Amino acid sequence: MPATVDDFIQRFGNPESMDDQSASHYLDRFASNAPQDQEFDTHALSSGASEYLGRLPDPQFQQAAQSAYANATPAQQQGLLGSLTRALQSRGIDLGRVFGQGGQVPAQVSPNQYAQAASYARQQHPDVMKDVVSEQPWLIKAMGHPILMGALGMVAGHMMKNRLQSSPAPQAAQPSGVGGLLGKLF
């Protein structure tokens, strides 16, 4: 089983080395708050996954969101609906308009209603999906393997970019015999 973030990044260099079980395991580690998973940044997961979801064509996103919601347990459905509505409300969005209910969010929504509301959020308020993924990371797995792989690929890309930006630039070799102030200047 994968052990480190470095393993995760390296595995994305070879797409054939990432099967559904490994991808699922990595998502679980990124979503975990366990001490041994601290290097798997949950913020990187929610940022990368929501960015990937934002790039999906609307029909693909809606189908995946509808399927994930339809196959979720009632408790998971309530969690998804609650996360989505809280994130929308915190931004002052009229939920009745989003759900077409004249001011009220129904206690239960159909998979199609959820998918349409999530699609609206994704298009109009992309940061809402970041909140939803942060609270309900299992959604990415539930949306299917292609979306899981795409989201994890985006996470790996961001992590590689952050590592490159945070590593110090190599210093040019100093000519031999040049020291003191001049050596520091040249």
Mean pLDDT value of segment 110-126: 93
CA–CA separation, 17 and 13 (whole Å)? 9
Assign 44 a pLDDT band (cuts: 50, 70, 90). confident
If we measure between CA atoms, which residue out of 78, 51, 59 comes closest to residue 154? 51
| Mean pLDDT of the 20-42 span | 87
Distance CA 139, CA 111 (A): 13
The pLDDT tens digits for 62-101 are 999 999 999 999 999 999 999 999 999 899 888 877 877 6
Q: How much is the mean pLDDT over the chain?
A: 82
* Of 183 and 31, more confident: 31
Percentage of the chain beyond pLDDT 70 is: 82
pLDDT band at 166 (very low <50, low <70, confident <90, very high): confident
Question: How confident is residue 6, by pLDDT bands cut at 50, 70 and 90?
Answer: confident
pTM score, two decimals?
0.79
pLDDT above 70 for 170: no
Worst-scoring range by mean pLDDT, 44-48, 117-121, 156-160, 169-173?
169-173
Residue 13 confidence (pLDDT) above 80: no
Domain residue extents for the chain? 5-163
What is residue 142's predicted lDDT score, i.e. its pLDDT? 95
